[in-house]
Amino acid sequence: MDYRRLGKSGLRVSEFSFGAWVTFAKQVGEDAAASIMATAYDNGINFFDNAEGYEQGNAEIVMGEALKKLNWSRDTYMVSSKVFWGGSKPTQKGLSAKHVTDGAHQALKRLQVDYLDLYFCHRPDIDTPIEETVRAMHNLIVQGKVIYWGTSEWNAQQLTEAHLVARREHLTPPTMEQPEYNMFRRENVEKEYLPLYEMGLGTTIWSPLASGFLTGKYNDGIPADSRVNLPGYEWLKRNLESEAGKAKIEKVKKLAVLARDMSLPVHHLALLWCNANPNVSTVILGASKKSQLEDNLKALDHKSKLTPDVMARIDEILGNKPEAPRALARE
C-alpha cells in the first residue's frame, strides 16, 4: 500500500480506502463490518468513508460499533462523514449552518469518535449561500470537531467560489472533493477540476467500478444476488437495461479481453486505471464480504502492468477521453 498526500495538505491517505455506501446496515451488520474493516486496516488502509445519508445514519452506527470493537489507536486511522440528507424536516437537510453543525455532532455520536478527520458537503445546496457553509465548516475546524472539510459532486465553479470566499473572509477552504470517477465518468476529474489541483484540491473518488459495470458480472445478464435487486437500487437496473447501459457492457467485454491478455480480471484493471491518475488521492472500495475486499486489494500487486501502451489501448476502447482545455492543448 502506498500513501498519497490529500491534495496539498500534509495528510497522507492510503491509495485504496474503504467506504460504507450500499453495504453497511443494508447487507453488512456490526460483526461482519468489524471483520471487513480489520482486513482493510491490516492491509494498510487508513481511511474509512461514511455519510449521514447512508441508510439514514445506520451505516455510521454500524461503523461506530465496529470501531469500538476493533479499538484501534485513534491516531492510526481516519474516518469521514458527509452532510446533506439528515432527515425529512426542513432543518435536517441541506448545508445551512445549523444542519452542517447538527450533522457533525450526530455523526460523532454514531461513529463514537471525538472528531471527524474528513467532513464532506454531500452535494451542493443552491438554497444556502456558500459563505454560510464555508463559515460553518471553518467553525467546526476551529472547535476541533473536524480536521479537514471538503465537498462531493460539486462543480468547479462552486469549488472556486468556496475557495474565494475562504480567502476573502480568512476562513478554511475545502481540502478535497469526492467525485464519482471511473472509466465511464471522466470529465470532472480529468478536465473540469484541472485548475483546482493547483489550488490544493485532493480527490477521494467513489464508484471506481461504475456501480458494478466494470466487474464484468453483468456481461451475461444480472446475477440473482446483485445489488441491482436490492430495494432502492431500481435506478441501477434501469441503467443496465438502457441502450447506454448495453453499450457500456459491450465496452466492458472488450476491456475484459485486454485484461485477460494482461493476466488480470477486468475489475482489477478498472481499479488500477483509477489509481494511475496522479490527481486521485485515494480510491474508495466497497465490499459486502471480506473475500471481495481481499480480492480488490490484490490489484495493487500489478500496478506496473498499466504501461502507457495499455493506457492508450484503454482510451481506444472507451472512446471517451476528455479533450484538454484549449489553454492546455498542444499545437
pLDDT digits (tens, 9 = 90+) for 316-326: 999 999 997 77
Beta bridge partners of 18: 48, 285
Region of poorest pLDDT, from 172-176, 213-217, 256-260: 213-217
CATH of the domain at 164: 3.20.20.100
Report the first-to-last Cα separation within the chain, whole angstroms. 39
Give the residue from 280, 254, 268, 252 showing the smallest Cα distance to 305.
Answer: 268
The reply to whether 84 falls in a domain is yes
DSSP characters for 159-193? HHHHHHHHHHHT-PPP-EE--B-BTTB-HIIIIIT
pLDDT at 221: 78
Mean pLDDT of 222-232: 72
The reply to whether 193 falls in a domain is yes
pTM, 2 dp: 0.94
| Active-site residue, from 3, 41, 54, 115 | 54
Mean pLDDT of 185-191: 97
Q: Is 54 a catalytic residue?
A: yes
- Count other C-beta atoms under 10 Å from residue 247's C-beta: 11
Whether the predicted pLDDT of 229 surpasses 80: no
The reply to whether 328 falls in a domain is no
Higher pLDDT, 225 or 262: 262
Whether the predicted pLDDT of 223 surpasses 90: no
Residue 267's alpha-carbon distances to 26, 86, 299, in angstroms, are 23, 33, 9
pLDDT at 222: 77
SS3 116: strand
* Domain extent at residue 171: 3-211+267-307
The reply to whether 24 falls in a domain is yes
Please tell me the distance from the alpha carbon of residue 315 to that of residue 216, in angstroms, as a whole number: 18
Beta bridge partners of 180: 206
Please tell me the distance from the alpha carbon of residue 152 to that of residue 253, in angstroms, as a whole number: 30
pLDDT at 292: 96
The reply to whether 28 falls in a domain is yes
Region of poorest pLDDT, from 48-52, 179-183, 222-226: 222-226
The reply to whether 318 falls in a domain is no
pLDDT at 330: 56
pLDDT at 236: 78
pLDDT at 218: 87
- Count of domains observed in the chain: 1
The reply to whether 230 falls in a domain is no
Whether the predicted pLDDT of 133 surpasses 90: yes
Q: How much of the chain exceeds pLDDT 90, in percent?
A: 87
The reply to whether 69 falls in a domain is yes
